[in-house]
Structure 1
Amino acid sequence: MDTSRTKRIDIISDTHGHLTDELLGQLEGADLIVHAGDITSESDWALLCALGPQIKAVLGNNDFYYDYGPEVERLNLFDYEGLSFAVSHYREDLPVGMVDVGICGHTHRARVDELGRCTVVNPGSPSMPRGRRGPTMARMLVRDGKVLSTEIVDL
């Protein structure tokens, strides 16, 4: 299988001003980073943007006092590698029936669901997890308009 066209999307949420060395190490080599809100740190946002890959993000319920620029809003709709994406901090704000991939956060609990033709990913939280699983993020591999795999990565 030719993996040269495969793209790696690393998905994070609810970092709440705490980017750990382990998380930053995991993000190295990503083609796209998606942050589903509650960044709560302009310096963390600048650091994520400086990592190199393309980055997409939304505002979480704790982000309204911070300035991440005009491209970071409540809902982010975009196309990437032949797939349509929607990112929102809240699951209920995702237009699940209209996109291939929906990404949300807020609950601090990692979860991947297939809802019809849509893969819905909540990466949990790498810094303030809830439940027994511990700190997490998600990783998705895509190629030619298809989601090849989606996994929760324990940190």
Structure 2
Amino acid sequence: MTSRSSASPAARIGLISDTHNLVRPEALRYLDGCDAIVHAGDICNPAVLDALARIAPLTAVRGNNDTGDWAASLPTHARLTVQQVTILVVHDIAELGCVPQDEGIRVVVSGHSHKPSIAERDGVLYVNPGSAGPRRFTLPVCAGRLIVEGAQVSATFDALLR
């Protein structure tokens, strides 16, 4: 048996995007217990951010549907570091271009497409948790999580509705 006393416990980062003014109880339950939450834009109402911030510290970016005075204070890009992993958050991945290799970005979280996806390219994990808001076409209603342990990171997304 190995001891983990010297290791940092794993951090759970909740990922949500494209809520479009809808705070589903299923999303709140899914994010409950997370150490932090990332919202990748298209919030549409500050009450969404208030509800999420009651669960855990929140990082949010402005999406193309986030307008008005309340949204003006939201950045279009945000960066946070969890343990040894640096995460870049942007709403529309197309606005990002390429990730500069020298900036130490290990994860890029985006939204906009409403389509959940996880892909790794050139050592960078790209995660789109999908949309937790109103259903769009036949796409699932989803949210996701990052699990960070030191310099290691993994991602998942889960359907919120069956």
CA-to-partner distance for each residue in 1:68-93, whole Å, 9 max, x for gaps? 574x2101122221111110001123
Query: Residue 146 of structure 2 aligns to a residue in which SS?
Result: strand
Are the counterparts in 1 of residues 8 and 149 from structure 2 also a CA contact under 8 Å?
no
Query: Residue 112 of structure 1 aligns to a residue in which SS?
Result: strand
Could you tell me how far apart the structure 1 residues matched to 2:135 and 2:35 are? Answer: 25
Structure 1 position 110 matched with structure 2 position 116: yes
> Which residues in structure 2 correspond to 1:72-111 (within 5 Å)?
72-94=74-96, 95-98=98-101, 99-111=105-117
Shift in CA distance, 13/142, structure 1 to aligned 2, threshold 3 Å: same
Root mean square deviation, CA, Å = 1.9
Could you tell me how far apart the structure 1 residues matched to 2:69 and 2:27 are? Answer: 22
Q: Which ranges of structure 2 fall in alignment gaps of 5 or more residues?
A: none
* Equivalent position to 1:126, from 132, 148, 152: 132
Structure 1 position 14 matched with structure 2 position 9: no
Q: Partner residue of 2:143?
A: 137
Identity of aligned residues (%): 31
Q: Partner residue of 1:42?
A: 46
Q: 2:115 corresponds to which letter in structure 1?
A: R
**Post-superposition shift, 1:131?**
5.1
**Post-superposition shift, 1:134?**
1.6
Could you tell me how far apart the structure 1 residues matched to 2:111 and 2:135 are? Answer: 11
* Equivalent position to 2:37, from 12, 33, 40: 33
Q: How many residues align?
A: 152
Shift in CA distance, 144/24, structure 1 to aligned 2, threshold 3 Å: same
Structure 1 position 154 matched with structure 2 position 156: no
Q: Determine which structure has more spread, i.e. the larger CA radius of gyration.
A: 2
TM-score for both structures, normalised by structure 2: 0.85
